[in-house]
Amino acid sequence: MTQVRTGITPPFAVVAADSDEAIAAQALIEGMYETVEPDKAAVVVALGGDGLMLETLHRFIDRGIPIYGMNCGTVGFLMNEFRVEELDVRLTEAVPAVIYPLLMRAYTMDGTRHEALAINEVSLLRETRQAAKLRISVDGIERQSMLICDGALVSTPAGSTAYNLSAHGPILPLGAGVLALTPISAFRPRRWRGALLADTATISFDVLEAVKRPVSAVADYTEVRDVRRVDVARDPTRQLTLLFDRGHSLEERILREQFEP
The response to whether 107 counts as a known ligand-binding position is: no
The response to whether 71 counts as a known ligand-binding position is: no
Give the range of the structural domain holding residue 184, as residue numbers without chain letter: 102-234
Out of 20, 50, 199, 206, which one is annotated catalytic? 50
The response to whether 233 counts as a known ligand-binding position is: no
What confidence tens digit (pLDDT) does each residue in 5-32 have?
444 468 999 999 999 999 999 999 999 9
pLDDT of residue 1: 33
Q: Is residue 7 part of a domain?
A: no
In contact, 160 and 171? CB cutoff 8 Å: yes
pLDDT of residue 261: 64
| pLDDT, greater one: 190 or 203 | 203
The response to whether 249 counts as a known ligand-binding position is: no
pLDDT of residue 3: 41
Shortest CA distance to 134 belongs to which of 233, 231, 229, 234? 229
CB-based contacts of 85, cutoff 8 Å, min separation 6: none
pLDDT of residue 254: 85
Does residue 62 carry a catalytic annotation? no
Whether pLDDT at 149 is above 60: yes
Mean pLDDT, rounded, for 121-140: 98
CB neighbour class for 32 (10 Å; exposed up to 12, middle 13-18, buried from 19): middle
The response to whether 165 counts as a known ligand-binding position is: yes
Mean pLDDT, rounded, for 115-119: 96
Shortest CA distance to 10 belongs to which of 89, 97, 95? 89
pLDDT of residue 13: 96
HSE toward the beta carbon, residue 136, CA cutoff 13 A: 24
Please, what is the average pLDDT of the chain? Answer: 92
Q: What is the CATH number of the domain that holds 181?
A: 2.60.200.30
Shortest CA distance to 127 belongs to which of 207, 30, 27, 54? 207
The response to whether 39 counts as a known ligand-binding position is: no
Whether pLDDT at 244 is above 70: yes
pLDDT of residue 5: 46
pLDDT of residue 235: 94
Structural domain total, the chain: 2
Q: Is residue 108 part of a domain?
A: yes
pLDDT of residue 9: 60
Radius of gyration of the chain (CA): 20
Task: Mark whether 205 and 249 lie in a shared domain.
Answer: no
Task: Mark whether 190 and 123 lie in a shared domain.
Answer: yes
pLDDT of residue 2: 40
Task: Mark whether 149 and 211 lie in a shared domain.
Answer: yes
Q: Is residue 4 part of a domain?
A: no
DSSP per-residue letters across the chain = -PPPB---SS-EEEEE-SSHHHHHHHHHHHHHB----GGG-SEEEEEE-HHHHHHHHHHTTTTT--EEEEE-SS--TT-BPP--TTHHHHHHHPEEEEE--EEEEEEETTS-EEEEEESSEEEEEE-SSSPEEEEEEETTEEEEEEEEESEEEEE-TTTTTTHHHHTTPPP--TTS-EEEEEEES--BSTT---EEEETT--EEEEEETTTTS-EEEEETTEEE-SEEEEEEEE-TT--EEEEE-TT--HHHHHHHHTT--
The response to whether 231 counts as a known ligand-binding position is: no
The edge-to-edge listing of strands for the beta sheet with 67-71 is 12-16, 43-48, 67-71, 240-244, 95-99
CA-CA-CA-CA torsion sign (211, 217, 221, 222) = negative
Task: Mark whether 19 and 123 lie in a shared domain.
Answer: no
Whether pLDDT at 175 is above 80: yes
Q: What is the CATH number of the domain that holds 25?
A: 3.40.50.10330
Whether pLDDT at 109 is above 90: yes
The response to whether 121 counts as a known ligand-binding position is: yes
Shortest CA distance to 118 belongs to which of 173, 180, 65? 180
The response to whether 100 counts as a known ligand-binding position is: no
Task: Mark whether 153 and 199 lie in a shared domain.
Answer: yes
Task: Mark whether 124 and 156 lie in a shared domain.
Answer: yes
